[in-house]
Amino acid sequence: MKVQGAVFRKEDLEQIRGMGLTPEKVRAQIEAFAKGFPFLQLYRPCTAQDGIKVLATEQIIQYDEIFNRARLCGRAMKFVPASGAASRMFKLLIAFNKARKTVSETEVAAMAEKGDPDCIEMLRFIKGVKKFPFYEDLRAVMDRDGFSAEKLIEAGEFKEILDYLLTPRGLNITSLPKGVIKFHSYGKSRSRTPFEEQIAEAIHYLRDQSGRIRIHFTISPEYEEKVKDHVEKAKALFQGPDAVFILTFSSQSSSTDTIAVDMENRPFRDTAGRLVFRPGGHGALLENLNRLEGDIVFIKNIDNVLPDHRREDTYLYKRALGGLLLWLQGNVFHHLEHLLARDSGDRRVDEASAFAEQHLSFLLPKGLSREEKRNCLVSRLNRPIRVCGMVRNEGEPGGGPFWVRQEDGTVSRQIVEASQVDMSSPGQREIWESSTHFNPVDLVCALRDYQGKPFALEKFTNPETGFISIKSVEGRDLKALEVPGLWNGAMAGWNTVFAEVPLSTFSPVKTLHDLLRKEHQP
Give the tens place of pLDDT for each residue, 223-236: 999 999 999 999 99
Specify the DSSP class assigned to residue 499.
Answer: E
Higher pLDDT among residues 387 and 282, named by residue = 387
Is the confidence at residue 480, as pLDDT, over 60? yes
Measuring CA to CA, which residue among 472, 469, 470, 474 is closest to residue 485? 469
Q: What is the mean pLDDT of residues 122-150?
A: 96
Higher pLDDT among residues 492 and 1, named by residue = 492
Give the span between the Cα atoms of 367 and 95, in whole angstroms. 63
Give the pairing of strands 184-185 and 191-192.
Answer: antiparallel
How buried is 321 (Cβ within 10 angstroms: 0-12 exposed, 13-18 middle, 19+ buried)?
A: buried
> What pLDDT digit, counting tens, does each position of 36-92 carry?
899 999 999 999 999 999 999 999 999 999 999 999 999 999 999 999 888 889 999
Is the confidence at residue 5, as pLDDT, over 80? no
SS3 169: coil
Domain boundaries, the chain: 93-175
> What pLDDT digit, counting tens, does each position of 392-409 carry?
998 777 899 999 998 888
The pTM assigned to this predicted structure is: 0.93
Segment holding 184, helix H or strand E = strand 184-185
Which of 4-8, 131-135, 356-360, 428-432 shows the lowest per-residue confidence on average (mean pLDDT)?
Answer: 4-8
Residues in the chain: 522
Q: Is the dihedral of CA 211, 216, 217, 223 positive or negative?
A: positive
Distances (CA, A) of 137 to 93, 156, 183, 307: 18, 20, 13, 19
Which of 88-92, 109-113, 288-292, 305-309 shows the lowest per-residue confidence on average (mean pLDDT)?
Answer: 88-92
Give the span between the Cα atoms of 200 and 376, in whole angstroms. 44
Give the span between the Cα atoms of 123 and 129, in whole angstroms. 10
> What pLDDT digit, counting tens, does each position of 404-424 carry?
998 888 899 999 999 899 999
Give the span between the Cα atoms of 89 and 91, in whole angstroms. 6
| Beta pairing partners, 390 | 500
Alpha helices in 209-309 (DSSP H): 224-238, 286-292
What does the pLDDT read at residue 2? Answer: 44
How many other CB atoms are found less than 10 A from the CB of residue 256?
20
Residues whose CB is less than 8 angstroms from the CB of residue 452 and which lie 6 or more positions away in sequence, other chains included: none
